[in-house]
C-alpha cells in the first residue's frame, strides 16, 4: 500500500467503523420493561396532562389517539388543539369521547397565531386547559404502548431532570418509498442518536415525545420562546439544559407513521429535516456524509480497489446489512444511503423549507425568552455546552436535529410528521419525529 491510497483506506475505515458502531449501539439499547398496573411505580405516579396539537385526520389518527386513552396510568388528561372549527380531527376527538367516556378529554379550537411556527401557536393556545403539574407533548402520528405514560414520565420525579424524550421507529404505510422513508429513521437517525447518547451527549429532544414539569416550562418562559423556532422540540430541550437541568432519553420507543408513498413527497420531507439539522449544527452537518455507508464504501473501493480497502468495505457492508434488520431492508439499503447522500448535498444550500402549504426560513427569529429562574439551576451540573464537538457531530448528527429529527411541524401534528427536531446526534449534528 502506498501513501496515495491512505485517504481511500481512511474513508473506508471511517464509513465501516460508523456502521459497526451503529450496530453495536443499537444492540445495546436498554431493554423495555413493562410496568404492571399494580406495581408501586404505577401507584406513585403524578397526574399528567398530555398536549396533542392536531391538524387534519390522517388514516391512523384515531388508532394513535385511542392508544392514549388506553394508558395504564392512574390520572391523566388529554388536551387536543386545532386551529380551525372545520378541522377533520375534531370528528376524531368526538369519537374518542364517545368510545372512552371515562377518559378526561379536552378540545381547544383557537385560530390565534403567535409566531411563524403554527404547531407552537397551537400549544400556546391549548396550554391553559392543562390541569396537571406534569406535561407530555407528543406528535399526533405516534403510536405508544399501554405503559407509555407511566414509563416516560417516571424520571420527572428527579428535580434535576428537565425533559424526558424518547426515540421512535418508522411504521411504513406501504409501498417502496414509505419503506425507504422508514429506514431514514430506523437505519440512520435512531442509530446516530444511540451513538451520541452512548458517547455522553444529551443535546436532543424529539417531537415524538417530550415530558417535563409545568414549573420547568414556566421557568423558560413557556412556549413563547419557541414561537418563531423551526426546530421547536430541540429548543424546548435546549432551553431547559441551559437552565442546568438534565435531559433523559427514555427506554420507551414509540412508532411514527411514514406515509410518503411517492419520491417527490419523501424528498421534500427529508430535505426539510436535513436543512433543519444544518441550521442547528452546520459543522456537524458538513461531516454527516461519512454516515452514508454504501456510497462512501463504494467510493473508497472504486478509488482504490486494493485488498485492504475491499476487506474493510465488505465488513462495513455486512454491518450495514445487519443494521437494516431484515433481508428486504438490506436490499433497499444502497438506495436508502444513496438518496441520503443526494439529499445531504442539496441540503447544504437553500434557506427555505416547505411545511405543508407553509414556507419557512431555516433562520429563526427568536421570540424574547424569559430568563431561567435561578431556583431551577442545578448546582451540581457542569457548564452546559452550547455547541456539539466535531466528534459528536460525526457520530450524533441525526439526533441533535430533529427536532419528530428537530421538529419541523406546522400545526403540531404534521400527520406524516417525521419532522422532529433532532438534537445533536451521532451524525454530527444532533439532533428531533420525523421533519
Of the candidates 241, 330, 340, the one whose C-alpha atom is nearest the C-alpha of residue 289 is 340
> Are the beta carbons of 34 and 72 closer than 8 angstroms?
no
Q: Residue 241, class by beta-carbon neighbours within 10 Å (0-12 exposed, 13-18 middle, 19+ buried)? A: buried
Has residue 425 got a pLDDT over 60?
A: no
pTM above 0.85, yes or no: no
Burial of 370: CB neighbours in 10 Å, binned 0-12, 13-18, 19+: middle
Residue 427: predicted pLDDT:
37
Would you state the pLDDT for residue 31?
A: 46
Correct CATH for 42-284+365-377+384-426 of 3.40.950.10, 3.40.50.300, 3.90.550.10, 1.20.200.10: 3.90.550.10
Q: How far apart, in whole angstroms, are the C-alpha atoms of residue 390 and residue 403?
A: 20
pLDDT in tens, 111-154: 999 988 899 999 999 999 999 999 999 998 999 999 999 999 99
Annotate 28-50 with DSSP letters as a single string.
Answer: TSPP-----TTSHHHHTPPPEEE
Domain boundaries, the chain: 42-284+365-377+384-426
* pLDDT for res 365: 67
Give the helix/strand (H/E) hosting 261. Answer: none
pLDDT in tens, 66-75: 999 999 999 9
Q: Residue 35: what pLDDT? A: 43
Render pLDDT for 28-77 as a digit per residue (tens, 0 to 9).
755 444 444 444 445 567 999 999 999 988 888 999 999 999 999 999 99
Query: How do beta strands 48-53 and 246-258 pair?
Result: unpaired
Answer with the residue of higher pLDDT: 370 or 349: 349
Question: Strand order of the sheet with strand 142-143?
Answer: 104-109, 76-82, 48-53, 134-137, 210-213, 161-172, 246-258, 142-143
Distance CA(348)–CA(239), nearest Å, equals 26
Cell of 204: 436532543
- Parallel, antiparallel, or unpaired: how do β-strands 246-258 and 142-143 relate? antiparallel
Amino acid at each position: 500500500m502506498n501513501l496515495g491510497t491512505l485517504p481511500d483506506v481512511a474513508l473506508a475505515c471511517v464509513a465501516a467503523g460508523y456502521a459497526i458502531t451503529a450496530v453495536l449501539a443499537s444492540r445495546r439499547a436498554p431493554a423495555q420493561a413493562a410496568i404492571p398496573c399494580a406495581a408501586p411505580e404505577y401507584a406513585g405516579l403524578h397526574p399528567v396532562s398530555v398536549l396533542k396539537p392536531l391538524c387534519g385526520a390522517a388514516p391512523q389518527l384515531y388508532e394513535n389517539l385511542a392508544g392514549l386513552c388506553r394508558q395504564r396510568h392512574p390520572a391523566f388528561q388529554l388536551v387536543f388543539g386545532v386551529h380551525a372549527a372545520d378541522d377533520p380531527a375534531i370528528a376524531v376527538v368526538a369519537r374518542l369521547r364517545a368510545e372512552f367516556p371515562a377518559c378526561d378529554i379536552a378540545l381547544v379550537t383557537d385560530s390565534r397565531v403567535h409566531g411563524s411556527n403554527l404547531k407552537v401557536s397551537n400549544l400556546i393556545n391549548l396550554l391553559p386547559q392543562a390541569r396537571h403539574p406534569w406535561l407530555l407533548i407528543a406528535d399526533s402520528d405516534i403510536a405508544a404502548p399501554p405503559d407509555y405514560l407511566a414509563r416516560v414520565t417516571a424520571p420527572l420525579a428527579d428535580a434535576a431532570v428537565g425533559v424526558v424524550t424518547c426515540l421512535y421507529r418508522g411504521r411504513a404505510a406501504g409501498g417502496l418509498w414509505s419503506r425507504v422513508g422508514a429506514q431514514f429513521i430506523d437505519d440512520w437517525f435512531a442509530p446516530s442518536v444511540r451513538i451520541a447518547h452512548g458517547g455522553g451527549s444529551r443535546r436532543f429532544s424529539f417531537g415524538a415525545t417530550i415530558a417535563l414539569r409545568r414549573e420547568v416550562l414556566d421557568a423558560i418562559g413557556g412556549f413563547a420562546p419557541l414561537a418563531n423556532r423551526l426546530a421547536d422540540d430541540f429548543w424546548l430541550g435546549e432551553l431547559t439544559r441551559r437552565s442546568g437541568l438534565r435531559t433523559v432519553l427514555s427506554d420507551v420507543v414509540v412508532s411514527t407513521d411514514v406515509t410518503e408513498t411517492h419520491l417527490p413527497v419523501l424528498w421534500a420531507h427529508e430535505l426539510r429535516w436535513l436543512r433543519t439539522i444544518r441550521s442547528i449544527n452546520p459543522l456537524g452537518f458538513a461531516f454527516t456524509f461519512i454516515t452514508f455507508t454504501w456510497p462512501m464504501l463504494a467510493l473508497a473501493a472504486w478509488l482504490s480497489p486494493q485488498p485492504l480497502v475491499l476487506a474493510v468495505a465488505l465488513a462495513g457492508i455486512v454491518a450495514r446489512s445487519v443494521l437494516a434488520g431484515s433481508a428486504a431492508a438490506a436490499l433497499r439499503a444502497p438506495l436508502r444511503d444513496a438518496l441520503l447522500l443526494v439529499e445531504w448535498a442539496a441540503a447544504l444550500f437553500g434557506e427555505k423549507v416547505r411545511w405543508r402549504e407553509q414556507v419557512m426560513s431555516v433562520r429563526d427569529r427568536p421570540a424574547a425568552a424569559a430568563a431561567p429562574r435561578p431556583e431551577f439551576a442545578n448546582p451540581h451540573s457542569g457548564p452546559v455546552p452550547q455547541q456539539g464537538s466535531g466528534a459528536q457531530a460525526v457520530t450524533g448528527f441525526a439526533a441533535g436535529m430533529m427536532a419528530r429529527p428537530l421538529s419541523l411541524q406546522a400545526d403540531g401534528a404534521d400527520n406524516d410528521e417525521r419532522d422532529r427536531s433532532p438534537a445533536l446526534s451521532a451524525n454530527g449534528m444532533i439532533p428531533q419525529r420525523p421533519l
